[in-house]
A and B are shown apart, each in its own frame.
Chain A
Amino acid sequence: MSNIATDTMISLSPSGSQKFMQRTVPLIIFAVILAVIPVFGPSRTMYSLLNAMGVNIVFAMSYNMLLGRAGLLSFGHAVYFGLGGYAAVHAMGAIEAASYGDGGFWAGYPVFFLPFIGFAGGALAGAVIGWPSCRRAGTPFAMISLGVAELISAAGFMFGSIFGGEEGISGDRMNGPEMFGLSLGPINEVYWFIAFWTFIGVLGIYAFTRTPLGKMSEATRDNPERAEFVGYDPQKVRYLVFIFAGGFAGLAGGMSAVNYEIFTPEALSLAPSGMVLLMAYIGGIRYFAGPILGAILLTYMQSMMSDYSEAWLLYLGLLFIVIVMFAPGGLAGIFGGLFRGLRGDNPAASLRQWAVQITGIVLMMISLVTLIEMSVNWSNNYGEVFEPFGMHLPHDGVLTWAVIFIPFVAGVGILRKALKNKEGQA
């Protein structure tokens, strides 16, 4: 009876079962998916695609530690991926040399644990480069990261003994002691290696977001001044987060080193840095699982769509711009909204709204794809013509322009109407 106040207070913290549902179950599902995939007996191409996805998932997640969690826009994250990867490749070389030579430390080091070396390399690079970069957030940070990326990738081509010049440095993953009975020779064994480390990477990054440092990184993103008043130095918080993000990028680099057995200085340059930015943002930077979606989609597009269309980068750019303009939550935000709508009080109405919007988007896509593919075929000048579903669509055909204009106008009309309805409801 003495403390009524505390007795009657409603606890706002999640209950044990809620914690389990929201935090542990998704990770278990993720692990199960990773473990079940080989049951379906994927082909070799599928395996190499899956392996690339695993590497990119960890890379994009590590990038999101900066962009999504800490609010730091970096144009040079591939530097840490690359330096970690180079550390791993050199370690792989050391393992090979040691196992054929006089032994020593490296002879007993399994290739399976090379991502640790990658993590160390990436974190070390982050620790060296991070301190001057993390003084300010925002545009200065973005510009320093850009400058550093250009400097490091230029240096990559200059120091041949470390980076191997144009042809890079290659290694052999089938040396040293075997772990878990995996020789890492055939690609399905490499899959287990990638799956294991993808899970470890995601788990590690998730664990990081639960630490006080992870929470403080979000606080300094939202309000650095207030974080400073509470007694945390924003620069220090950013710096520590930067080191960890560099470390996890290096982990992904280590995975990539074992997967491809080669690293070239291109891995350090602006192009992969831009790609990881696209992955994280298209997936959705405000959601933990967002970058996973983005990494899966972009890796798929990169390897599959580039076979179908030369203009796949154009589609990628369009997708990115549409996401930036109309869906800042990314794919994860779109799925989240869909899910919330279905569980809301009027699932039928929200489903209808979604159907209308999707119709509009599909119509616009038909028009855009026709326009782009027709132009690509025409500009190649090989006399080839875009022929989807048996239709013949040359650049000067009436039908072509009908297929371009009619769906476009219809799509714009439908989307505008849908937008108006939405505003009317709100």
Chain B
Amino acid sequence: METIVFSLLNGVIYGLLLFMLSSGLTLIFSMMGVLNFAHASFYMLGAYFAYTISEASSFWVALIFAPILVGLVGALVEKYGLRTVHVNGHVAELLFTFGLAYLIDEVVKIIWGRNAVDYKVPELLDFPLFELFGAQYPAYRIFTLFVALAMLAGLWFILNRTRAGLIIQAALSHPHMVGHLGHNVPRIFMTVFGVGCALAGLAGVIGGNYLVTDPAMGVQMGPIVFVVVVVGGLGSLMGAFLAAMILGLLQTFAVAIDARFADIFGWLGLDATSELGSITIASLAPMIPFLMLVLVLMIRPRGLLGDREL
């Protein structure tokens, strides 16, 4: 019971973090068809910016300004990089962002060093919020939960209730028609790319001190973000949310389960000392996202709630 409740809580929070990270990419991918390889690098930039800003002033300033900075970097990348490559097709765009990920990783290593930086949870939130089964639960995790929910609500409001959101939604499905109506589609693209990167940056601000801020954090998260976007489906924020939640819960529960293959398939005669039998469920946790990715692409290429195929 204890394990289930904690896994549930942690899984939901991890899932929300994944959603924050990938919601921006879902927007970018659905609209521009660009599967941004560097998206997780923007997440990393967010964490590092937040670290530097919170050293200079406070975490709360960082919470606001770090994502904005990341968004600006993203908009510049779109304007001076992606737009040039766009004429050469999606593969060229994918390759461009692939190179960009290399670049950002190396620049981060030069500026902030190769080791993890000491990006701490703000003191105001550094206390146990409540006690559960004799274990204390940190307040920062609940704060993460609220930020993610606020972001979800804000995103939903902007996309569905404002004029800008409606134009973006229209450009998601009919970019040419929106262009014919006189909207500046390249500028919409730049804005969406910038906002998408800013959302990744926000995830970095929150995730950087929840997890760890080091130059490998981008590489670690990169492929998982793709899984969320592809499994969730093209053009569907709700799908991304669902996929992120499923992933977060599955991974957290897999880590919590203390069992080996031999315990489950013992009735088939699998021995606990054999190589296959001694594999633990927990060690499979990092593989789950990719298994999901491959299965979804093979069985249902449009993803959970996608409105069109990849």
Contacts and interface: CB of A to CB of B under 8 A. Distances in A.
Contact of B226 (A146, A148, A317): A146
Interface stretch (A37-45, A113-121, A155-163, A258-266): A155-163
B81 A321 contact: yes
A274 B223 contact: no
B6 to A, nearest CB: 25
Contact of B99 (A140, A320, A328, A372): A320
B110 A375 contact: yes
A155 B283 CA distance: 10
A422 B153 CA distance: 51
Given A147-B297, A151-B287, A379 B310 contact: no
B298 A379 contact: no
Contact of A150 (B91, B103, B111, B223): B223
Interface residues of B, number: 41
Nearest to B37: A75
A179 interface: no
Given A142-B94, A143-B35, A328-B88, 5 more contacts: A73-B91, A136-B301, A136-B310, A147-B293, A154-B287
Point out which of B84, B286, B287 has the most chain A C-beta atoms below 10 A from its C-beta: B287
B103 A274 contact: no
Contacts of B297: 140, 143-144, 147
Interface residues of A, number: 43
Interface in A359-374: 372
B116 to A, nearest CB: 15
Q: Which 9 A-B pairs have the closest CB atoms?
A: A317-B102, A314-B106, A147-B293, A320-B99, A317-B103, A150-B290, A321-B99, A147-B294, A147-B290
B94 A379 contact: no
B159 interface: no
30 contacts: A73-B95, A136-B301, A138-B90, A138-B310, A139-B33, A139-B35, A139-B90, A139-B94, A140-B301, A142-B35, A143-B35, A143-B293, A143-B310, A144-B293, A144-B298, A147-B293, A151-B294, A155-B287, A311-B106, A313-B106, A314-B107, A317-B99, A321-B100, A324-B88, A324-B96, A325-B84, A325-B96, A328-B88, A375-B111, A379-B110
B102 A313 contact: yes
A159 B275 contact: yes
Contacts of A73: 91, 94-95
A133 to B, nearest CB: 9
B210 interface: no
B137 interface: no
Chain B contact residues: helix, strand, loop or mixed = helix
Contacts of B62: none
B291 interface: yes
A320 B94 contact: no
A314 B105 CA distance: 8
A139 B110 contact: no
Contact of A154 (B35, B94, B107, B286): B286
Contacts of A274: 98, 102
